[in-house]
Structure 1
Amino acid sequence: MAKKLIVLLSYILIAFLIYLYGESLLTWIQEGGNQYVIATALVATLLALFPIIPYPIIGGVLGAVFGPTLGSIVTWTGSSLASILMFAFVRYGYQDWGLKVIHRYKALSRVTELFERNAFITIFLTRLIPFIPSIVVNIYSALSRVSFLNYTIASSLGKMPSMILFAVVGNSIVQNPQQLFWIALFYGSFLLVVWFGYRLWGRQPAQNTKLP
């Protein structure tokens, strides 16, 4: 119980500090973050872990400051580290509680078992679809029995396209706004392909992984 309380209070404290100083950190990135890449990546991690400021805005600022390539790397690093930290907080602080809740409801338990059988591809695909809340994927994965390594790899790989998008859009707004139409068209097409692929793949477990 003490461990759970410490984890929760630490999270609340850091969230409060980000709430107070989040805009100042964003201003620091805009004014001089390009001189301190590692420090900026750590700041981006905090801003992604406690999204007081929407992370697409953070990614756009990083793209404008660092350029599309390095901006994408820093944006992706911050988001990936934040999701891993969130996973660790929940997994090592509250998984036992979560599993009790999951197995209390038969339908949820069956869905979780299917998820665990196909965890890598499910996490990867849900990361490719940006309107699926990241925090939901983080917490549900942590409460399940998905391994830390599988989650880390699938989540980090799946985040790449959207993080690149945020940085490229931010850079284009500053450098070449005319590119935004083509970026939107390309990424919209990409999401359609991902969505249809996800729907197609989603039918397979239902047919081939029936639970007893």
Structure 2
Amino acid sequence: MKKWLLLAGYLIILLAAFGNLNKITAWLKTGDVHLLPYMFVAAIFLGLFPVFPYGVFAGMMGAKYGAAMGALINWTGGFGSAVLLFLFVRYGYQKSGQKMLARYPKVDEFTDLFEANAFLAILFARLIPVVPSPVVTIYSAISSVRTVSFTIATALGKIPTILLFTFVGDQLFHNLYLTIVTLVSYGCFVGIVYIIYRRWQARHQKKSLL
């Protein structure tokens, strides 16, 4: 039920955005920077509470502030929100985190890999959609993984997707060819990472059987 409500909310937001497309486009083309500090706060907020599709927001930041600044805003939001959620669950709401994880039976597939190498498991989960990002964060928070390991793996793992959304937003209205190249390159990258992940998973399973 909640998923349908969330999808309905996203649809309403997207329809409203489409109805004000000219105003949004005009705002994206302006060079004002007085709202820049607030965009960092907004990015973290949307990372914690996805009331608006984060990918769309990330693309807008790339379109308005360019690839470099847009990427910094988006990475700060993705990384900052993950760390805050991790600390929130680990030091205050572990029981609530466990209840939430119970709704994701697929997380059991993640458990063995996590026990084998928590850092790599988190990194792979960030690079490819193996497990939903909030689930990875909550699972890490209630586990014994060190905060430093989680932080570094998350900081690195967030980079590729953030760059994708930012570059697409930055180039979408200027260079369609480069946008397509970016999407294809990202697809190839994810494919390579997925192959590496599957091999690592298979090797771990073989060791478990011995």
TM-score (norm 1): 0.74
| Cα root mean square deviation, aligned | 3.0
Change (3 A) 1:166 1:101: closer
For 2:173, the equivalent position in structure 1 comes to 174
Amino acid at match of 1:58: F
Change (3 A) 1:100 1:75: closer
> Are residues 1:89 and 2:88 paired?
yes
More helix by share: 1
For 2:21, the equivalent position in structure 1 comes to none
> Is the Cα contact below 8 Å between 1:112 and 1:144 reproduced in 2?
no
1:52 positional shift: 1.0
Change (3 A) 1:158 1:33: farther
> Is the Cα contact below 8 Å between 2:119 and 2:153 reproduced in 1?
yes
> Are residues 1:203 and 2:199 paired?
no
Amino acid at match of 1:171: D
1:97 positional shift: 6.7
Amino acid at match of 1:195: Y
State how 1:53-202 maps to structure 2 within 5 Å.
53-95=52-94, 112=111, 114-130=113-129, 132-202=131-201
CA distance in 1, matches of 2:91, 2:178: 44
Change (3 A) 1:73 1:207: same
> What SS does the aligned partner of 2:161 have?
helix
> What SS does the aligned partner of 1:125 have?
helix
State how 1:45-60 maps to structure 2 within 5 Å.
45-60=44-59
> What SS does the aligned partner of 1:47 have?
helix
CA distance in 2, matches of 1:176, 1:110: 41
CA distance in 2, matches of 1:76, 1:119: 22
Change (3 A) 1:176 1:110: closer
CA distance in 1, matches of 2:113, 2:124: 15
Moved more, 156-165 or 178-187: 178-187
TM-score (norm 2): 0.74
1:130 positional shift: 4.1
Amino acid at match of 1:185: V
User: Can you give the 5+ residue segments of structure 2 that lack an aligned partner in the other structure?
Assistant: 1-16, 18-23, 102-106
> What SS does the aligned partner of 2:93 have?
helix
For 1:39, the equivalent position in structure 2 comes to 38
Listed one character per residue, the Cα deviations across residues 131-155 of structure 1 (whole Å, up to 9, x for unaligned) are 7421111111112111111111101
Moved more, 113-122 or 70-79: 113-122
> Is the Cα contact below 8 Å between 2:97 and 2:138 reproduced in 1?
no
CA distance in 2, matches of 1:158, 1:62: 20
The percentage of counterpart residues that share the same residue type is: 38
CA distance in 2, matches of 1:191, 1:109: 23
User: Can you give the 5+ residue segments of structure 1 that lack an aligned partner in the other structure?
Assistant: 1-22, 103-107
> What SS does the aligned partner of 1:138 have?
helix
CA distance in 2, matches of 1:174, 1:129: 27
Change (3 A) 1:114 1:166: closer
> What SS does the aligned partner of 1:145 have?
coil
Amino acid at match of 2:147: F
Change (3 A) 1:38 1:116: farther
1:38 positional shift: 3.4
Listed one character per residue, the Cα deviations across residues 17-62 of structure 1 (whole Å, up to 9, x for unaligned) are xxxxxx9xxx7x8577733433321211001110111111111011
